Chains A and B, each alone.
Chain A
Amino acid sequence: MEEIWEGHFLDGKTAAQRKAMISPEPDGLKINLDNGDSLVWPYDEIRQAQGHFEGEPVRLERGEGITEVLIVGNTDFLTALRKQAGERAGRFHDPGFRRTRWWLTFYTAIATLAVCFIAYKWGIPALAKSMAAHVPVKWEQGLGKTELEQLAPPGNRLHNPRLDIAIKRIMARLIRPIPHCPYQFRVIVCDVPIVNAFALPGGYIVVFRGLLEETRTPEELAGVLAHEMQHVLKRHTTQRIIQDTSTGLLLSAMAGDVTGSMAFGMKSARTLALLEYSRGEEEEADREGMKLILAAGIDPQGMIRFFETLKKYDKMPQFLKYASTHPATDDRIEKLKEIVSAQTSPAKKGTIGGKIVLAKAPVKKERLIPEIAWPSLVKGLRSSK
């Protein structure tokens, strides 16, 4: 039985609509127009432009440049068309597919959540890590320098000749064990009473007066510096910038805007001050920092003691940044102690029930810069300016 469908024909030359009677036949679509003209559209020349959704009329097009158009309101037309088109049926939408499409969309939703989770948890950090390793040191220095101007403007810096000498001596000790260090470290002291220190890409370390005042020995400050140096050496900040930019890209991709994310990336690079390291990065800086302290022959108890001092800031409000980004938990102190014992007495290293046995072997105790009276130096900083 031959089926005839009602529709409209557009010739692609004028906007006039013409009524058309359409019948799908084995060799093509037979179209009879209201003015008596009749056409045959071979199936392999037809493209379906619309009619993939509920309530959307079927729109078929033929020809390049000047395109002829055929519109049929009834979706069942597609089923009849596909039946007659035989092996070319694949060119046309199958209304029966709509149910399947619904389920596919549903599964896509689940898959999307999974992909986002995986990317956020593992993909992006891994990507950032491998990318950060390839950023030229010169770029890191440039970025660090610009950030330094913002975060520690020259007017805020504290200059104390004795302190500068002391820091230089500590840094010299810490740098010595690092083979082929690509960074030139610079320590900047800020005259601000908060207990904080942070590292910028390229080797800049900013220490606040509040933190210095909390240290009782130069060894304690050395612990902080070693920790921050490791953030630089392991390129944690650079990695963080890349990671935040990538997360921004991911979020914008979700919002369907590629270009907005570039702006987001630039912006996040500008808010370095707000970056937070991950727990893993902090632990790495602790571990490698402590190893550096030991390699430099500095008493490791200083670093441990300073972490214990910081513990009291755990209970303080979040705006004390050192406390919030560097939570000095018992856990971290415990880990530092383990490193010290493992490194100083390798022969005695062993485990009982999975726990490393703390070694009792004494660490070499040679005081760092004994000629400088540390407590009076740091307590006197406030008035020295």
Chain B
Amino acid sequence: MENDKRNLTFFGNGGTLFGIHLVNLFLGLITLGIYFFWARVKVRKYIWGQLEFEGDRLSYHGTGLETLKGWLKALVIFGIPYFVVSQLPRLMGLGRVFVIVGGLFSVLLIMVFIPMATVGSRRYRLSRTAWRGIRFSFQKVWREYVPIFLRGMILNLLTLGFYSPYYQARRDKFLIANSYVGNRNFEYDGNGDDLFGSYFLSLVLAIPTLFFSLFWYHVKRTRYVWDHTTFGDARFECMITFGGMFWLYLGNFLMVLFTIGFAYPWAQVRSINYLLTNLSLNGPVDLETIQQDAQSVNATGEELSSFLDLDFDLG
């Protein structure tokens, strides 16, 4: 294969997205929110369908019913127990001891469910995404992430957060290197050492720079993660900059603010376009030989993620 640059291009526009959001809003209101699950599928189907890579659009195959079932499952195995231990002692006016013990249990629950949500949502989202008819997948289960997560949390605590870049590197490697397109996986060769200096600097400068240094680190880390992600012999290259991201976010913030939220779809499109025009896959890779290797995953994890209010990116 020839050595070249490949880009993911977005063809969507804010107007169409706005129309989709609007109809979703209406149906969501009259179904008291139940339509939310179908609404999200509609938005994803549109966005995925507007993303083109090497002459083919991505496609999204999730369904509203799947995610609704997943959400209900999450509600039963996590939401209700969480409510019981974290809120009920307070509501029932039980003593301070019960409130504290309940609080501890709720933290424990969260500690188990963050790994579950992280991996589950990634499994679901990837398995419902296809390019050239080939499904993506994530080939590890949440239990395998628990040791990485707990070790990371404990060391972060003991080192007052300075372990964070090392934890992030291990997590990114776990999440990226186990992500597949058909039978071929991505690889990650980043490490904590490379980012430690920047992380340290951003923490030290956090207060004098009014926390902009943390945003600077976030941009740097995003770029670093992409730059250390490979697929076959090809490597991603990310060229987002602090300045670019700053103006993008500021612009989006002002747009959304001055239109009391109505410009949100346009802001969404701006963000996607900014990232994609600064991202490419460089180097030789024989895409034609990728083989199908589909597997199914239930939707629970996906729903847990939004239940816990965590945010995930498509790797």
B175 within 8 A of A: no
A35 interfacial by beta-carbon distance below 8 Å: no
In the complex, A12→B290 CA distance in Å?
Answer: 11
Give the total of A residues in contact with B, Cβ under 8 Å: 53
Answer yes or no: A253 CB below 8 A from chain B CBs.
yes
| Chain B: CB-nearest residue to A115 | B29
Q: Looking at the complex, which of A67-75, A275-283, A301-309 is the stretch in contact with chain B?
A: A67-75
Say which residue of A11, A102, A255, A256 sits within 8 Å of B133 (CB atoms): A11
- Most chain A CB inside 10 Å of its own CB: which residue of B26, B182, B291: B26
Per-residue contact bits, chain B 1-44, to A (CB 8 Å; 1 contact, 0 not):
00000000001000010010111111011100100100110010
A108 touches B288 (CB 8 A): no
A110-125 interface with B by 8 A CB criterion? 111-112, 115-116, 119
Whether A119 pairs with B55 at a CB distance below 8 angstroms is no
Contact pattern, B 51-65, Cβ under 8 Å of A = 1, otherwise 0: 000011101010000
A365 within 8 A of B: no
Interface string of B281-315 (1 = CB under 8 A from A): 00000011111101000000000001111000000
The closest CB in chain A to the CB of B264 belongs to A255
Chain A residues with CB under 8 Å of B277's CB are none
| Best-buried of A12, A49, A66, A253 by chain B (most CB within 10 Å) | A253
Given A17-B55, A142-B92, A142-B94: A256 and B36 interface contact (C-beta under 8 Å) = yes
With the chains together, A254 CA to B92 CA distance in Å? 32
A108 touches B28 (CB 8 A): no
The yes or no answer to B156 lying at the interface (CB within 8 A) is no
Give the tally of cross-chain contacts (CB within 8 A). 133
Q: Which B residues are in CB contact (< 8 Å) with A145?
A: 93
A14 touching B49, Cβ below 8 Å = no
B50 nearest CB across to chain A (Å):
7
CB under 8 Å from chain A, chain B span 99-151: 131-134
A14 touches B288 (CB 8 A): yes
Find out whether the CB atom of B291 lies under 8 angstroms from the CB atom of A14: yes
Whether the pair B309, A108 counts as a contact (CB closer than 8 A) is no
Q: Is the CB of A259 within 8 A of B93?
A: no
* Alpha-carbon separation in the docked complex, A104 to B19 (Å): 10
Q: Within the complex, which residue of A10, A14, A57, A142 is in contact with B289, where a contact is CB–CB below 8 Å?
A: A14
A169 located at the interface, meaning its Cβ lies under 8 Å from any Cβ of chain B in the complex: no
A263 to B86, CA, bound (A): 12
CB pair B131 A50 closer than 8 Å: no
Residue in contact with B132 in the complex, picked from A15, A108, A111, A250, CB distance below 8 Å? A15
Please tell me if the beta carbons of B22 and A258 are within 8 angstroms of each other in the complex: no
When chains A and B are docked, how far (Å) is the Cα of A139 from the Cα of B294?
50
Instruction: Contact check, B292 vs A139: say whether CB atoms are below 8 A apart.
Output: no
Cβ contact within 8 Å between A142 and B90: yes
Q: Is the CB of B23 within 8 A of A105?
A: yes
Q: Of all chain A residues, which has the CB nearest B184? A: A15
Top 6 closest pairs, chain A to chain B, by CB = A142-B93, A10-B133, A15-B290, A15-B132, A16-B288, A105-B19
Besides the known contacts A14-B291, A16-B132, A260-B309, 9 further A-B residue pairs in the complex with CB atoms under 8 A apart: A15-B131, A16-B289, A50-B45, A108-B23, A108-B26, A115-B26, A142-B93, A249-B33, A250-B29
Residues of B that sit less than 8 Å from A by CB: 11, 16, 19, 21-26, 28-30, 33, 36, 39-40, 43, 45-46, 49-50, 55-57, 59, 61, 71, 87, 90-94, 131-134, 181-182, 261, 287-292, 294, 306-309
List 17 interface pairs A-B (beta carbons < 8 Å), by A numbering: A8-B55, A13-B291, A13-B292, A14-B292, A15-B132, A50-B49, A53-B49, A56-B50, A57-B57, A59-B49, A71-B57, A102-B19, A112-B29, A115-B30, A119-B29, A255-B261, A258-B36
